[in-house]
Amino acid sequence: MVRTTSQDKMKIKNYTKILEVVTANPGINRKKVSSLTKLSNQTLSNLVKELSDFGYVLEFPLEDAPGYGRKPIGLQVNFKAFLIISLEFTYNSLGVYLNTCDGEVLQYDRYALDKALDVITIIKEGVENALKYANTRVFAIVMSAEGIIDEDNRKLTHIKALALKDVDLGQEQAYLHIPFFLLNETNLICSHVNLTNTKPHNFMVVKLDTGIGCSIALDGHIQKTSANNMPGKLGHLKVTNPDEDVTCWCGGKNCLSAFISRDFIEARFNLPYEEALRLIRDGEASGFYGKILSYLAPILANVTTLMGIEKIYACGRMVDIFGTTFIADLAREITPLIPSWINFMGIEESPVPSIPEQCSVYFMDYFLKNILTYLETVEETPFKVR
């Protein structure tokens, strides 16, 4: 834990004010930064020089500025100075990336996982191996994970395919003394959309893949249930018009996941998931494409109506394979079910950024907004000349 005086805290807050403004306005000049941060020109000049010495801010002449004489100096955040480890944890593999916060990958490994292996040891070994390639400070470890996640307590609450339950991954990583963040995969995608969207609105990200993931942002905030710090599980809402009663792995009957998740589709068609999806897409599966629409549309429409959702972003392998026709068909099914007073702007296929990009955007937002909390979790301040 970094010990800070009141004077230190004020200075650090001013650092982050500058970094936030420059992050949002790449190329901004000092005069505008001073105006937006309410810092005096002299104070700003001193702090910018220090941030430049730390390696976090780059200065360059604005060649396109009008007029003659000396060009004003523009500022931009040097995201390459922020190094993190990004983890992609799925039901059958672990991807480990050492990357800068502009998304550049410096080192990458992937490890196979199954319930017969010691998954926690593999995660530790993967992180330790990535650290060997880091030639400077690693600011954080950020993990995107499938399954049911307790994000605030950094627990893998339930990963059915790997027989993992109530694993305190935060505690497992504590010996490294590097801040650790664990996020549900769909929440991380939703966070990326939320932080990079030029026109914020209430929206929902739906991932149709191994499971049925859902994350909702209202007024710029990702929603979680207050009782257990976990995102809602769209896949366990009930299908109201099934052809047959199906028991879900959770013990409930007729959950959406029991009809359109990877496990169900593979079992029904006795084919690998992606091959089965192509069969369904090409109309060779006895109308099952239409059933997917009929199961999914009413549930999405009800959530949209209840939460005042303005746009749905869809992603995942089902969306990738079914393509834009699926998005159009789903919109046609959903739209008539939504009341006219909901400002529903439709469904859009959402390209999924790379895991390093998602983790980088998440971490930089956290770092700038929660710097004093961050300092409580590290042993050495990041604000010193290297």
User: What CATH number did the domain enclosing 39 receive?
Assistant: 1.10.10.10
Q: Give the number of domains in the chain.
A: 3
Q: What percent of the chain shows pLDDT beyond 90?
A: 58
Q: Is residue 196 part of a domain?
A: no
Q: Is residue 92 part of a domain?
A: yes
From residue 339, give the alpha-carbon distance in Å to each of 302, 310, 330. Answer: 10, 12, 16
pTM above 0.85?
A: yes
Mean pLDDT value across residues 23-47: 92
pLDDT greater than 70 at residue 46: yes
pLDDT, residue 199, reads 57
Q: Is residue 381 part of a domain?
A: no
Which amino acid is it at 308? Answer: G
Q: Is residue 140 part of a domain?
A: yes
Q: Which domain holds residue 111?
A: 81-188+354-375
208 and 338 fall within a common domain: yes
Which of residues 77, 96, 122 is at a domain's end?
A: 77
pLDDT, residue 69, reads 52
208 and 331 fall within a common domain: yes
User: How many residues are recorded in the chain?
Assistant: 386
Return the bridge partners of 34, or none. none
| Sheet strands (E) in 200-253 | 203-208, 212-218, 221-222
Q: Is residue 309 part of a domain?
A: yes
pLDDT greater than 70 at residue 311: yes
Determine the angle formed by the axes of helices 6-24 and 41-54, rounding to 10 degrees.
80
227 and 275 fall within a common domain: yes
Owner of token pair 């992606």: 274
pLDDT greater than 80 at residue 63: no
Average pLDDT for the chain: 88
From residue 333, give the alpha-carbon distance in Å to each of 249, 260, 266, 290, 313. Answer: 28, 17, 25, 10, 16
Structure-block tokens of residue 93: 């593999």
pLDDT, residue 227, reads 45
pLDDT, residue 229, reads 46
Position with higher pLDDT, 68 vs 82: 82
Which amino acid is it at 136? Answer: T
276 and 161 fall within a common domain: no
Mean pLDDT value across residues 348-357: 91
Mean pLDDT value across residues 262-271: 91
127 and 216 fall within a common domain: no
Q: Is residue 197 part of a domain?
A: no
Q: What percent of the chain shows pLDDT beyond 70?
A: 94
161 and 288 fall within a common domain: no
pLDDT greater than 50 at residue 226: no
156 and 171 fall within a common domain: yes
Position with higher pLDDT, 20 vs 149: 20
Long-range contacts of 334-343 (CB under 8 A, 24+ apart): 334/297, 334/300, 334/301, 334/304, 337/297, 337/298, 337/301, 337/302, 337/305, 338/301, 338/304, 338/305, 339/305, 342/304, 342/305, 342/308, 342/309, 342/310, 343/308, 343/310
Q: Give the Cα separation of 348 and 87 in Å (integer).
A: 27
318 and 239 fall within a common domain: yes
Burial tier of 262 (Cβ tally within 10 Å: 0-12, 13-18, 19+)? buried
Which of residues 38, 58, 77 is at a domain's end?
A: 77
Counts of helices then strands in the chain (DSSP H, E): 14, 16
22 and 52 fall within a common domain: yes
pLDDT band at 225 (very low <50, low <70, confident <90, very high): low
363 and 330 fall within a common domain: no
211 and 297 fall within a common domain: yes
pLDDT, residue 232, reads 52
